């Protein structure tokens, strides 16, 4: 699994548990931020969206469930991958958490290795561009850990922006994305890059892809998609 620059926000008010999880997740290759309450978590998410959140049910100010409900009502955070952490083991509590929009649910005490595996599984399901070590589409191959791209098994050189853009498109083939969506998903929702800059990156990416340049289609009036279909 590629964990390069994969940012996990841990919302946990018990210092011993937070430190254990920080060490475990950092050792697995993730970038970790820790919030000890809902207020701090709100500030961190407002500053930059993490790739996923580990959210404790019991927090000193607002319950984790209440915070999750806030995020699900906000368009910016509605799809944020969230795993609930809780000592509550009753079936109705699990159902309540999942009904509020949790993507997964882990009951304390749990194995740190199991939690890492659950995070990896969630990323593979929700964000394949960061949850898979290798991606392929047609003649395009991507090794995320090695930051390598091959076309017809021949390595090609891409800069950081081109690599991130291609990886996202390959992870979501045949889907049409507007320029603003690509800005949010590839460069981050707090980027100040203008939308027309996406066109420049697309042009450079096509040039770098050579034989696979035609995979990157312009959908007139909407944006771009990755497709092997001859139609634009």
Catalogue the long-range contacts made by 90-94 (C-beta closer than 8 Å, 24 or more residues apart): 93/57
How many angstroms separate the Cα of 183 from the Cα of each of 19, 139, 179?
34, 25, 6
Question: Where is 204: in which H helix or E strand?
Answer: helix 195-209
Name the pLDDT band for 2 (thresholds 50, 70, 90): very low
> Mapping DSSP to helix (H, G, I), strand (E, B) and coil, where does residue 182 land?
helix
Exposed e or buried b per residue across 156-175, where buried means at least 16 C-beta atoms within 10 angstroms of its C-beta:
bebeebbbbbbbbbbbbeee
pLDDT of 189 higher than 80: no
Write out the two tokens for 139.
């003649």
Alpha-carbon gap, residue 55 to 67, rounded angstroms: 9
Is pTM beyond 0.85? Reply is: no
Cα–Cα distance measured from residue 169 to residue 60, given in angstroms and rounded to the nearest whole number? 41
User: How deeply is 43 buried, as exposed, middle or buried, from its count of CB atoms within 10 A (0-12, 13-18, 19+)?
Assistant: exposed
Tokens for 121?
Answer: 């599984």
CA distance 49 to 151: 32
Question: Binning pLDDT at 50, 70 and 90, where does residue 89 land?
Answer: low
CA pair distance 181, 193, nearest whole angstrom: 12
pLDDT band at 90 (very low <50, low <70, confident <90, very high): low
Domains in the chain and their CATH numbers? Answer: 7-128 (3.40.50.2300), 133-226 (1.10.10.10)
Q: Which of 136, 152, 106, 116 is nearest to 226 (CA)?
A: 136
pLDDT bracket for residue 3 (50, 70, 90): very low
Comparing 74 with 10, which gets the higher pLDDT? 10
Q: pLDDT confidence of 34, banded at 50, 70, 90?
A: very high
């Amino acid at each position: 699994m590629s964990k390069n620059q994969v940012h996990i926000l841990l919302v946990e008010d018990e210092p011993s548990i937070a430190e254990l999880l920080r060490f475990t997740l950092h050792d697995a290759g993730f970038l970790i931020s820790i919030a000890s309450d809902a207020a701090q978590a709100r500030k961190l998410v407002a500053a930059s969206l993490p790739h996923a959140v580990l959210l404790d049910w019991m927090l000193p100010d607002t319950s984790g469930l209440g915070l999750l409900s806030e995020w699900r009502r906000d368009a910016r955070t509605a799809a944020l991958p969230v795993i609930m952490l809780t000592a509550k083991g009753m079936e109705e509590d699990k159902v309540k958490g999942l009904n509020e929009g949790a993507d997964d649910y882990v009951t304390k005490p749990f194995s740190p290795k199991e939690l890492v595996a659950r995070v990896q599984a969630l990323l593979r399901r929700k964000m394949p561009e960061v949850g898979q070590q290798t991606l392929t589409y047609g003649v395009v191959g991507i090794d995320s850990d090695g930051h390598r791209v091959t076309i017809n098994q021949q390595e090609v050189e891409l800069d950081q922006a081109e690599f991130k853009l291609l990886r996202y498109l390959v992870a979501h083939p045949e889907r049409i994305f507007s320029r603003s969506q690509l800005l949010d998903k590839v460069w981050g929702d707090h980027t100040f890059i203008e939308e027309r800059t996406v066109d420049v990156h697309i042009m450079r990416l096509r040039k770098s892809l050579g034989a696979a340049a035609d995979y990157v289609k312009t959908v007139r009036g909407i944006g771009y998609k990755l497709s092997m279909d001859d139609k634009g």
